[in-house]
Amino acid sequence: MAQLLTIEDLRLLAKRRVPRMFYDYADSGAWTESTYRANEADFAAIKLRQRVAVDMTNRTLASTMIGEQVSMPVALAPTGIAGMQHADGEILAARAAARAGVPFTLSTMSVCSIEDVAQNTDKPFWFQLYVMRDRAFIERLIDRAKAAGCSALMLTLDLQILGQRHKDIRNGLSAPPKPTIANLINLVFKPRWCMGMLGTKRRSFGNIVGHATGVGDMTSLSAWTAEQFDPTLSWDDVKWIKDRWGGKLILKGILDAEDAELAAQSGADALIVSNHGGRQLDGAVSSIAALPGIVEQVGGRMEVWMDGGVRSGQDVLKAVALGARGVLIGRPFLYGLGAMGEEGVKLALDIIRKEMDITMALCGKRDIQDVDASILVKGKA
């Protein structure tokens, strides 16, 4: 096997090991994928200032996100059906995150359930909530996250209607997946993945099946999810959820300064500048391009984080330099997971940590708390 030195190396290995349907589900964006591409390209356009002859000893990346200690300001983003990239994927990713000293976020649309992840890990994690029409189900989900000891609730605001991903339609991605001949043949070439799946019972939406009224199996699930994302979601609902939860609240999916203003007024603890990894509004600006304006608008009233397009430690530093208190990664850890399970996620985090550490030093900084716009070449932000 080639040496695995970059997130791109992990992507290529995941592509070999994960069935095409699930690999494509991760590695795709909405419609023309222009926003998906812009997320990465806009990071590449930002240039760092190289500094020399400054003391580079005793460096630290340690920080806090909503008051929680983190070994570096990077968290694992909520991703649906991570348990299809690798058997028991959410549990493995949560364990890797805990070992690396960074937060893990469990999606509403996970394979392993909230209770399952809590039972199989030692560290509290964050729970991401989608607002469904069935409000009684939402109330139960919030209560379950509380009972499982989740230390923050992350409310996603940018997916009440689904952006279309052509690859998912062409691949027949549904619940349950379409057993087309092409899909079945593809499985023959993924023996490692198949063995993993045969060895686990976790193969459906753990937070939903058996918990939502009328959803007892995969067939009823498909119909339920298709109609449940609630397009009437409003800031009143945000308030209702904040009160019902009563703990730390993170709002995910803000890309516009006007929405950031409303988010700041909502009393939430953090917002995430995000376009859902280019999976929703195709044609929207990249997250890194939206970040500075939102940081300015919020003016310190809450923490501002970002996600989308982070593929290296250099990218994390650029986001921190532009005012992000923290950064989330989605695909980078999914590639690690698909490539090598728990060790792959740990490797993805180690790769990013090392890149960040050395890059910070080469920019003349020793402490992530001192990283600001002075490490960037002016005019490129």
Ligand X SMILES: Cc1cc2nc3c(=O)[nH]c(=O)nc-3n(C[C@H](O)[C@H](O)[C@H](O)COP(=O)(O)O)c2cc1C
The set of catalytic residues is: 276
Choose, by CB under 6 A, the member of 86, 190, 202, 252 that binds ligand X.
252
> Contact at 8 Å (CB) between 260 and 297?
yes
Choose, by CB under 6 A, the member of 150, 208, 310, 347 that binds ligand X.
310
CB-nearest residue to ligand X: 330
Residue 307 annotated as binding? yes
Shortest CB 154 distance to ligand X, Å: 7
Residue 325 annotated as binding? no
Closer to ligand X by Cβ: residue 107 or 297 = 107
Residue 8 main-chain phi, psi, to 5 deg = -60, -40
Residue 331 annotated as binding? yes
Closer to ligand X by Cβ: residue 141 or 365 = 141
Our finding on whether 260 is near ligand X (CB under 6 A) is: no
Among the candidate windows 43-51, 62-70, 76-84, 232-240, which touches ligand X by CB under 6 A?
76-84
> Contact at 8 Å (CB) between 327 and 353?
no
Our finding on whether 26 is near ligand X (CB under 6 A) is: yes
Our finding on whether 79 is near ligand X (CB under 6 A) is: yes
Among the candidate windows 73-81, 181-189, 241-249, 255-263, which touches ligand X by CB under 6 A?
73-81
> Contact at 8 Å (CB) between 308 and 286?
yes
Token pair listed for 279: 């999976």
What is each CA distance from 62 to 36, 54, 72, 314, 342, in whole angstroms? 29, 20, 5, 16, 22
Helices (H), the chain: 7-17, 20-26, 34-44, 89-100, 114-119, 135-147, 166-171, 181-188, 191-198, 218-228, 235-245, 257-265, 287-298, 313-321, 331-362
Residues ≥6 apart with Cβ < 8 Å to 72: 61, 62, 63, 101, 102, 316, 352, 353, 356, 368
Token pair listed for 186: 């593809």
Among the candidate windows 4-12, 181-189, 275-283, 315-323, which touches ligand X by CB under 6 A?
275-283
Choose, by CB under 6 A, the member of 113, 156, 204, 359 that binds ligand X.
156
Which candidate, 202, 31, 207, places its Cα nearest to that of 132? 207
Which candidate, 221, 11, 22, 199, places its Cα nearest to that of 108? 221
Residue 308 annotated as binding? yes
Our finding on whether 113 is near ligand X (CB under 6 A) is: no
Mutual orientation of helices 34-44 and 287-298 as an angle, nearest 10°?
A: 70
What is the CB neighbour count within 10 angstroms for residue 166?
14
Closer to ligand X by Cβ: residue 41 or 54 = 41
Our finding on whether 330 is near ligand X (CB under 6 A) is: yes
Among the candidate windows 6-14, 96-104, 204-212, 276-284, which touches ligand X by CB under 6 A?
276-284
Choose, by CB under 6 A, the member of 152, 329, 345, 381 that binds ligand X.
329
Residue 85 annotated as binding? no
Our finding on whether 39 is near ligand X (CB under 6 A) is: yes
Residue 311 annotated as binding? yes
Our finding on whether 289 is near ligand X (CB under 6 A) is: no
Choose, by CB under 6 A, the member of 292, 309, 336, 344 that binds ligand X.
309
Our finding on whether 208 is near ligand X (CB under 6 A) is: no
Q: Is 257 helix (H, G, I), strand (E, B) or coil?
A: helix
Residue 128 annotated as binding? yes
Choose, by CB under 6 A, the member of 19, 103, 277, 344 that binds ligand X.
277
Residues ≥6 apart with Cβ < 8 Å to 352: 7, 72, 74, 310, 312, 313, 316, 329, 332
> Contact at 8 Å (CB) between 54 and 364?
yes
Residue 256 annotated as binding? no
In the complex, the residues that contact ligand X under the rule CB under 6 A are 25-26, 39, 77-80, 107, 109, 128, 156, 252, 274, 276-277, 279, 307-310, 329-331, 334
Would you list which residues are annotated within the binding site for FMN? 78-80, 107, 128, 130, 156, 252, 274, 307-311, 330-331
